[in-house]
Structure 1
Amino acid sequence: MMKTIAAALSAALLLPSPAPAQDVSDLEGLLNQSVVSTASKSAETADLAPATTSVITAEDLRRYGFTSLDQAINFLAVGMVTEPSYGTPEIGARGVLLSGDYGNHVLLLVDGHAVNEPWDGTAYFDRSAAIPIDLVDHVEIILGPGSVLYGSSAMLGVINVITRRAKDYQGMHLVAEGGAPLTAHVAGGYGQTFEVGGREGELTIGLDYQRDQGPTLSYAPQAYADGTPWGGDASHRAIDVPAGQARLVLGDLDVTLRGAVSRRTATQLFSGSFDDSDSWERDRWLSLDARWARAVSPNLQLSGRLYGDLYDYFANIPSGSALDCLEGQASCVYQNSGVSRWGGLEVSGTWDWLQDGRYVTLVGADGRLRHVTSWLAYQDRGTGSSTRTSAYDVSDTVIGAYLQQTLRPASWLSLNAGLRLDDYENFGAHLSPRLAAVVPAWSGGTVKAIYSEAFRAPSFYERYYADATTELAAPSLRPETVRSVEGLLEQRLGAQRFRFGLFRSWWNDMVVLVPASDAAVAAAIASGALAAGAANVTTYANASRVDSYGLNADWEGSGLRQRLRYGVALTVAHSRASGDAPLAAAAQVFGNARVSYDLGGPVLALAVRAAGPRPVSGSSLDPAPDAKAQCDLHAAVSGPLGAGIAYRLSADYSVLESSAYAVGPGRDQLLPLPRYQLMAGLRFDR
């Protein structure tokens, strides 16, 4: 906390000097200044960062009782929103949500380490993010294209989860929570500082387990096309997520090991099996990140990072309908496996020309080796025999280099210019620029103008996935791109902060499924890649574009010596795909409001989030109908019990019973949602 305050004070020296404080509200305002490091890879106050940012602190998570990223995003952030979907929530920003992308248009970082894997670009934002929530120090949300420093996937924005250092997490920590419908969360952590050979060190460990079994949900009975029944009460819904992280810091060396599993037992929503306990998906992660950083001179700081990741996905989805299976199979189990292995080395240097933070050059390079294997099989439920219809084993290299120049020639002007070049072995190079001007134009007032670009490399899944019954591979895909312009006005008045921003973005070469050409289908059948008689065959193609514009506005503040805190955020957008089509499941109006009050013991917190009508995703109807406006309420009370023990009670309530996603064989009913959740828990710190 002291370093955060010190950074805020130092950055504040670059602003015009305000009038002398008349009361404690000015001090509260200074203490409320958020410090972010993700936008420029260096610590700076949020008002000077070359982006629109939100910072969610560990204190925010604790007082509101949030145990997952999607809750925190929906109720506390500006500009981003998640939608409850079939397995895990989908994420969008500023009116753009690309349904079915598995989060691959938002770059998720944990302490700067990219989580999105190369097989399908997957990143989760609910419990399946598998981040020990008690270890979180704060979450930085950067809106808009961010490829200039991070490369692929940072199209909608960048979310960086910063975990705690041992000096702020000393001792032992235990958490146990449970609720209805059946939900459990247990966590344990330990932090310790020490000294070895005259070098300071620290060890931080966090373990976390979450299980959400959920209530029984009802689906209208239907018949599959071949008469197989579908629908009724679905009770086999559960998610289990064990996760762990260990971090060792010794002098200039910082090593983090992270591992997690997410297993989701999912009601089969489309095929001939319904509420089958053998229908499940599983993700597993293991990552190692070793960093070194040293100030070589008053001007020069060097750093290096060696990293390696393992990820695998497996889906086991049974179906009782022959329509989902290969010819000759009366019923089957669809199995899909994807395994990613990647590792690399990133080196960077920062040169502070005048040793005062006003003219700083950042140069870096990142080289990665990637290897992906995947296969698809149909297992006959009658005979047990398995037939693989697709398999690939691909490796490639990616080299990235970036340059960023920060200039603060006067207290009334800050400039940030950057450029990154990424060179992919399989489809060539791509440039990602950014230019931002920040003008602290008057006391407490800041104006920003930002131009940025980003790209997303097509995933291995999009390029090489094929299915002998329905889909062809698309190895010639190009990267998706986005260009964005943004203007932002921020005003601080004591402990109050107001922001208003306008944005416009253009998305090109978007990857979507399209019908395969007759010639491609005929050639695939002739080569044996497609089964004879295959119909309605699709393939991925760069066949869509999106135009989006709109506004963000938010207000947050505190009073009564920060015991009272409040905020409200609103996004209004107009986003359209090719042919002026609205984006499925993408709310064009959404926002949140929250308030909390510390009674000097108990803390009361209330939050609400809302999303406007949006087209139903996956609907068989044309045009797709609109889902009703959504409103979710969240309340929490927490406080100390003594002897290092604290309690927390929370409740969630959803006004609507269904989401914006179609389900069922006819794709003409909406995915039902749990209406409420009650939680109670204890925390022990020693």
Structure 2
Amino acid sequence: MAWRKFTLLASAVLPALVLLPARGQQQQELPTLEELLRQTPNEVTRDIEESTSSRFARSAAQAPSVTYVVTDVEIARLGMRNMADILRSMPGLYVADDGEFFYVGARGLGRPGDFNARLLFLVDGMRVNENIYDAGLLGPEFFVDIDLIDRVEYAPGPGSALYGNNAFFGVVNIITKGVDKLHGLQLRVNTDSQHKREARISVGHRAEQGWESWLALSGYEQTAIGMPFAVRPDLQQAVSDRSWDRGQRALGMFKYGDWTLRAGVSQREHGIPEYKGPDAPVAIVQDRRISNNGFAALEYQHRLGQDWQLYAAISSKHTDYRATYPFIDPDQRWNEYRSRSLGNWWNADLRLSTQRWRDHLLMAGFEYQYDRKQTIDYGLSDGTLFDYFYGVNRRHGLFVQDAWTLSDSQQLTLGLRHDEARAGGASTNPRLAWTWSGLADASLKLIYGSAFRAANLYEYHVNAPLEAPIPTPERIRTVELAWEQRLSPQLQYRASFYSSRMRDLISIDQQLAVFENSAAIRALGAELGLERRWSAGQQLQLGVSLQRIRDAAGVVPDNSPRVLVKSSYSQPLAGERLRWSLQLLSESRTSSRGLSLPGYAQLNTTLLWRPAEYEVALSAYNLGDVRHFARPLGLGFPLLQEGRSVRLSISRAFGL
């Protein structure tokens, strides 16, 4: 309740603060530091830094994998609202929404009912997939508010040689902002045509004593959420009253010397209407979904002499997901079915790297995860228990990597990791990446790697009561060839081609209702990109993903589009203080359990105004109100995805 009061108070106070006179208005003809940081380079760059593909910072052009990066500048210009919007903009990824969860498909595979377990999600390098479904939580329950993201790095392809379990199709690393971008007091409010209101407040400080920290609080509330299916006119009001969403988040960082402490919590409560039928005493009842998540992580980085670097981290996390479904029992009394998934776990990470030997950057690491609590239970709100399932798991991985400079134009990255788990067995995964840069402003990469994903507690709990065999870990091997070249200071292109072979994919058998390993699947694909910039500040990005995936019988899996097209164009209207951007997202036809779902193309546009300490963004999503459908669970009716909506966002910064 206190959080909700904070949200409502911020919603009332922030618009008044925005109207206050900005400091330094008499010097508006001179650009501020913030405005200088927002300046758009008029030349394309191949030297953007990334750290996900090799676990240390290096140029994306030299990285041992293809790496895509979305920065905070792009997030603001395109009006991105959440992690789903960011991932939609990246090559090879596509997102579906069932109103409760964002489902991400990668490189043509979006298995029905998969909770993003085949992508590994990191926050500042820390694993955040939870330990019940291995789910990557990307909706309002995600820890990081969109305004706190500095950049998102996506390294596609098998990543188990560095990261172990879940890095099946790639690794997504969300890197938060530092005090340099979160200094002082910052306030923001958002409202949109879908009855959603958001508020955020953050404060950051760097002390002369050498420490720095920031803290951010945010809250949101949405009422009268539109349904993804048709509703009878006489039930529309009852459905609207019972369709709502609200939640809060807190995230903070404290750094002193070699030590960094991060912690965050998120809470979400989602109301969903349920139709009981024409003969029920109450036709529409109120279902609820409640999600609570949290983490605390302590990190230590220290240079040991001139050539050695030590990294150590320990983190503790929890997830608690509850769902309630009211009903009237045979005695005509109200009761509730309930389900709960509860997980507590901690991770330890130790890495040592050295450049002691010429032309080699060696890294060795050890990771450990202890799932000290994993439970799934079903019952009634009066305490009656129908089913209870628990697990206790331990897993560890040991890896080594050598980034070897063969010559001025050639680099070879060799990696190997061995993982063992109490539940899931053992797996060994290699990686080899050769990079050639013999031509100026160009690079060629040849990459080979493998990855695995073990069955999670949810898949265990479905099979165990039926005495069905527990699926063995699924595996993937991928070969990829990538070429990137800058043709001029303002024009560059990239092209990557990959071939993947997957075996033993864990899938639900629709007749037996158990999880089992499926036959081999082969995937071929290409990801093509073009970037063009102009001296006046315009910027164009175009990406096309071509994906062909077949099982052993030649059948295309469900939720597998052949073509993805993603493009954005940004145009300054009054320098960097006023900028207009347009985004195109397109997906080809897919199928789901025998149903054909048409493809679509939608436009999003944002007008971003940044006078002095203010930032005002007006965005329109799905500008043409294109109707498109998804069936992420493979069950029920196809669900209508988001239609046209308009969003206004206002923020104000105060230096301290």
Summarize deviations over 1:627-676 as a string: whole Å, max 9, x none: 1112221111111244x222110111264324122899x93x42123411
Matched, 1:368 2:369: yes
Confirm or deny that 1:452 pairs with 2:466. no
CA gap of 1:647–1:474, structure 2 versus 1, over 3 A, is same
Corresponding position of 1:520: none
Shift of residue 483, structure 1, vs aligned partner: 0.9
The secondary structure found in structure 2 opposite 1:585 is coil
Q: Secondary structure at the match of 1:441?
A: coil
In the other structure, the counterpart of 1:12 is none
Q: State the match for 2:247 in structure 1.
A: 241
Please name the residue that 2:269 is paired with.
Answer: 263
Shift of 1:511: 1.3
**Aligned mates of 1:138, 1:663 — CA distance in 2:** 30
Q: 2:595 is matched with which residue?
A: 625
- Does the 8 Å CA contact 1:175/1:186 hold for their aligned counterparts? yes
Q: Which amino acid aligns with 1:672?
A: L
Structure 2 equivalent of residue 36 of structure 1: 50
How much is the aligned-residue C-alpha RMSD, in angstroms? 2.9
Code of the aligned partner of 2:368: G
Q: CA deviation at 1:403?
A: 0.4
Of stretches 421-430 and 260-269 in structure 1, the one that deviates more from structure 2 is: 260-269
Is the contact between residue 259 and residue 300 of structure 2 (CA under 8 Å) also seen in structure 1? yes
Counterpart in 1 of 2:219? 209
Tell me if 1:335 matches 2:345. no
| More displaced stretch, 339-348 vs 104-113 | 339-348
Instruction: Decide whether the 8 Å contact of 1:336 with 1:374 is kept in 2.
Output: no
Pick from 485, 493, 501 the counterpart of residue 498 of structure 1. 493
1:489 is paired with a residue whose SS is strand
> SS where residue 128 of structure 1 aligns?
coil
CA distance in 2, matches of 1:572, 1:587: 9
Amino acid in the other structure paired with 2:485: Q
Match of residue 299, structure 1, among 279, 304, 307: 307
Distance 1:497 1:374, change over 3 A: same
Are 2:352 and 1:349 equivalent residues in the alignment? yes
> For residues 253-288 of structure 1, what are the alpha-carbon distances to aligned partners after superposition, in whole Å with 9 as ceiling and x for unaligned?
011011112333234499999995521222211111
For 1:523, the equivalent position in structure 2 comes to none
Deviations 1:556-591 (A, max 9, x none): 232226x21110111111112353332222222112
| 1:208-267 residue CA offsets vs partner (Å, 9 max, x unmatched) | 223344643374579xxxxxx999984233332311111111000011011112333234
Shift of residue 491, structure 1, vs aligned partner:
0.7
In structure 1, list runs of 5 or more residues that go unmatched. Answer: 1-24, 223-228, 516-535
CA contact (8 A) 1:94 1:588 kept: no
Answer whether contact 1:267 1:275 (CA < 8 A) is retained. no
User: How far does the alpha carbon of each residue in 1:475-524 deviate from its partner, in whole angstroms, 9 at most, with x for none?
Assistant: 63321111111111111131322111111111111112226xxxxxxxxx
Give the whole-Å Cα distance in 1 for the aligned partners of 2:222 and 2:559.
24
CA–CA distance in structure 2, aligned partners of residues 632 and 349 of structure 1: 47
SS in 2 for 1:153: coil
Post-superposition offset of 1:474 = 4.9
What letter is aligned with 1:432? N
Q: Aligned runs of 1:547-562 on 2, under 5 Å? A: 547-560=522-535
Residue 296 of structure 2: which of 276, 288, 301 is its match?
Answer: 288
Counterpart-to-counterpart distance in 1, 2:604 and 2:441:
32
| Structure-1 residue corresponding to 2:188 | 175
Structure 2 counterpart of 1:410, which letter? S
Write out per-residue CA displacement over residues 525-548 of structure 1, whole angstroms, 9 at most, x where no aligned residue: xxxxxxxxxxx6522222344221
Q: Which residue of 1 aligns with 2:104?
A: 91
- Structure 1 residue identity aligned to 2:547: A
Among residues 500, 507, 510, which one is paired with 2:505 in the alignment?
Answer: 510
- Once the two structures are superposed, what CA deviation does each residue of 1:282-334 show, in whole Å capped at 9, x if it has no partner? 221111111111111111111111111111111223468x9xxxx99999744
Identity of aligned residues (%): 20
CA distance in 1, matches of 2:283, 2:82: 26
User: Aligned with 1:29: secondary structure?
Assistant: coil
Aligned counterparts of 1:606 and 1:574: Cα–Cα separation in 2? 29
Which of 431, 434, 443 is equivalent to 2:440? Answer: 443
Is residue 455–residue 470 contact of structure 2 (8 Å, CA) maintained in 1? no
Q: 1:120: how far off? A: 0.8
CA contact (8 A) 1:218 1:233 kept: no
Alignment partners' CA distance in 2, 1:332 and 1:441: 71
2:614 counterpart residue number: 645
User: Is the 8 Å Cα contact of residues 501 and 553 (structure 1) preserved in structure 2?
Assistant: yes
Q: Which residue of 2 aligns with 1:377?
A: 378
Match of 2:28 in 1: none
* C-alpha separation in 1, matches of 2:308 and 2:507: 45
For the 8 Å contact 1:97–1:585, the answer to whether it is kept is yes
Q: What is the aligned counterpart of 1:678 among 636, 646, 650?
A: 646
Structure 1 residue 447, shift from structure 2 partner: 0.8
Equivalence for 1:583: 557
Q: How far, CA to CA, are the matches of 1:503 and 1:330 in structure 2?
A: 59
Is the contact between residue 379 and residue 387 of structure 2 (CA under 8 Å) also seen in structure 1? no
1:219–1:234 Cα contact (<8 Å) kept = no
**In the alignment, what sits opposite 2:24?**
none
- The residue that corresponds to 1:417 in the other structure is 414
Moved more, 238-247 or 89-98: 238-247
Work out whether 1:593 is the aligned partner of 2:567.
Answer: yes
Question: Match for residue 142 of structure 1?
Answer: 155
Shift of 1:27: 7.8
Note the C-alpha offset of 1:174. 0.8
Taking the aligned partners of 1:311 and 1:242, their CA distance within structure 2 comes to: 15
2:521 maps to which of 546, 551, 554: 546
**Residues 232 and 448 from structure 1, CA distance in 2 versus in 1: closer, same or farther, beyond 3 angstroms?**
farther
- How far 1:98 moved relative to its partner? 1.6
Aligned with residue 476 of structure 2, among 471, 482, 487:
482
User: More deviation in 301-310 or 272-281?
Assistant: 272-281
State whether residues 455 and 472 of structure 2, in contact with CA within 8 Å, keep that contact through their aligned partners in structure 1. yes
Q: Taking structure 1 as reference, are residues 663 and 488 closer, same or farther at Cα in structure 2, changes over 3 Å only?
A: closer
Matched length? 607
Instruction: Measure how far apart 1:424 and its partner are.
Output: 0.3
Q: Shift of the alpha carbon at 1:341? A: 1.0
* Cα deviation code 1:77-120 (max 9, x no counterpart): 22212122352221011111122111111111110111101111
The amino acid that maps onto 2:567 is: A
Distance 1:545 1:318 in 2: 43
Structure 2: gaps of 5 or more residues: 1-39
In structure 1, C-alpha distance between the alignment counterparts of 2:596 and 2:303, rounded to whole Å = 56
CA contact (8 A) 1:87 1:266 kept: no
- In structure 1, the residue matched to 2:26 is none
Which of residues 542, 547, 571 is equivalent to 1:568?
542
Secondary structure of the residue aligned to 1:134 is helix
Look up the SS of the partner of 1:108 in the other structure: strand
Instruction: Report the more deviating stretch, 205-214 or 99-108.
Output: 205-214
Aligned counterpart, 1:70: 84
TM-score by length of 1: 0.83
Separation of aligned partners in 1, 2:186 and 2:41: 35
Q: Which residue of 2 aligns with 1:526?
A: none
Change (3 A) 1:179 1:86: closer
Q: Compute the displacement of 1:66 (Å).
A: 1.0
- Give the alignment's TM-score, normalised by structure 2: 0.86
